[in-house]
Amino acid sequence: MSDAPAVASGAPTGSPTTRPTSDGRSLPGIGLAATAAGVAIGSAAAGMARLRRRRPSTETVPQGVATTDGLRLHTTVHGDRSAPAAVVFVHGWTMSGEFWTGHAEALARRGLLTVTYDQRGHGRSGRPGRDGFDLQHLGNDLAAVLDATVPTRTPVVLVGHSMGGMTVMAWAGRTQPSRHDVRATVLANTAVHELVSDAVAALTGTTNRVVHQLLRQAAKVPTPVPSTPINRRLVRTLALSPDAPDSAVELTHRLFLACPPSVRVGFAHQIDVLDLREGASRLHVPTLVLTATNDRLTPPSHAQRLVELLPDARLQVVPGSGHQLPLERPADTIHLVHDHVRRHALVPDPRHRDASPPRDAVEA
């Protein structure tokens, strides 16, 4: 029996690529529309609990994956390396690979090889020096993880959230060709250019340049963040929706506090000068762009800009959720990623349709 999570009506199962409207609404077949009766999808916390049942085989890469500048990335592989397709998950700013554990295990139970890792400076990975925080390093790190964990002939889907999505675009912008058969990508709650000004405006309700500059500078002060009820409420306000489950709030708060101040600030500098337009334009595989109506850190307007830049993109708007969409709506996220894998990684490569035999099916 399938353990595929239920998704609200309106989730695409075979609709063609569609662009967003100019006023920010999704065209038919795009959004996860609420039903007329306002039926909820269900408890996200219960959904994540279901995703964690029947854990697949898990392997931690010994000594971690080596980067080009000598760091070690804590990396975990879920499932069978002989699987017909692989999914590599990339977490965002101040999070860790734990962000994606439930999702990776859920897809591994469905017969896929899945990989999670701690980005440099995060979780149990090595901490870079002053020159090690640029996004190109993150793109190179993703390439190293691919080389160390996924067989070169296995079709791959890359899934990035927030700074993880930026990592995928940085990977696409590398001059070195990839040895891997990357068939598709999923970019969730992310941005490609000029993010900070829009995010500050969304958070403060003002476009005053002095206010923006003060907040930008405050975000770059490497001070420890204490665990207090006020900070927990602040994390919920900034990163999650008012209706986010406590499990999502707790994990976000814990991972944020665990991120070293120097790492938090080092990557904040890079996000402040973000420009990945070249990398996005070179991402020629089918890309699912996920956004949420209550995302205040990467507002939906950035998803629309990204779709316009990407050569082959489809937009999915999730109503009600905040920036931590994969944690707030885990079952929906799993459904969307799995559907994207089935469409693009478990079929013959369209670039070599006559030469590639069909892949074995995985559990629906």
pLDDT digits (tens, 9 = 90+) for 75-103: 999 999 999 999 999 999 999 999 999 99
Q: In this structure, are residues 109 and 136 in contact, taking their beta carbons and an 8 Å threshold?
A: no
pLDDT digits (tens, 9 = 90+) for 246-304: 999 999 999 999 999 999 999 988 888 899 999 999 999 999 999 999 998 999 999 99
| Complete domains list, the chain, with CATH | 44-347 (3.40.50.1820)
Other residues' Cβ atoms within 10 Å of the Cβ of residue 205? 9
Check residues 45 and 6 and name the one with the higher pLDDT: 45
Looking up tokens 């940085």 gives 170
Question: To 5 degrees, how large is the angle CA 339–CA 331–CA 85?
Answer: 35
